[in-house]
Amino acid sequence: MIFRLKELLVFLLSLISRKLLSLGLGFRSNKYHPLVWINGEPVIGENVYIGGFTEINASNCPIQIGRNCDIASFVSINCADSHLRCIDKTNQIDRRPIVIGDNVFVGSHSVILGGVSIGDNSVIGAGTVLAKVIIPPYSLVVGNPAVIKEGYYLQYENPS
């Protein structure tokens, strides 16, 4: 019963989003999920999962997501920072590129802001906030402020 209600809710939200888009008020459809917002033209590798209610804002700034990534629901990947413009300290929006390597897992409710580079085979824990940081490969990153456990996943052997 609950599964059918969930299916119905996703279907109804998908219809609403398509109607809003047709009116110029929604977001464009994409191959990942009907409730994923993608702005601009991010480069997204093969075999990438992006969960519902995730936002990827690549407007006027490059975002690259590698192959075989798993981006959970409710994640924000946003290259633009407008807070200084909002408080009248500048006329510009600060835009910085974002690079997410291959085989990266990004947990639910994480925030990845401009100037972030995440190395291959890394895990970003749920609720982590990243800004202007370089994450080495095979790292585990958790928290706000983020704690980087560099090379954490090097201790695990690849399955044969």
List CB contacts of 108: < 8 A, sequence separation 6 or more. 51, 72, 73, 74, 75, 126, 127
CA atoms of 60 and 40, how far apart (whole Å): 7
DSSP, res 12: H
Full-model pTM = 0.82
Q: Is 158 helix (H, G, I), strand (E, B) or coil?
A: coil
CA–CA distance from 111 to each of 47, 96, 120, 131, 149 (Å)?
21, 14, 18, 8, 18
Phi, psi (degrees; rounded to nearest 5) at 6 = -65, -45
Query: pLDDT tens, 115-139?
Result: 999 999 999 999 999 999 999 999 9
Query: pLDDT tens, 30-83?
Result: 788 878 899 999 999 999 999 999 999 999 999 999 999 999 999 999 999 888
Alpha helix (H) residue ranges in 43-129: 83-86
pLDDT computed for residue 20 by the predictor: 59
| H/E element, 124 | strand 123-124
Mean pLDDT estimate for the chain: 89
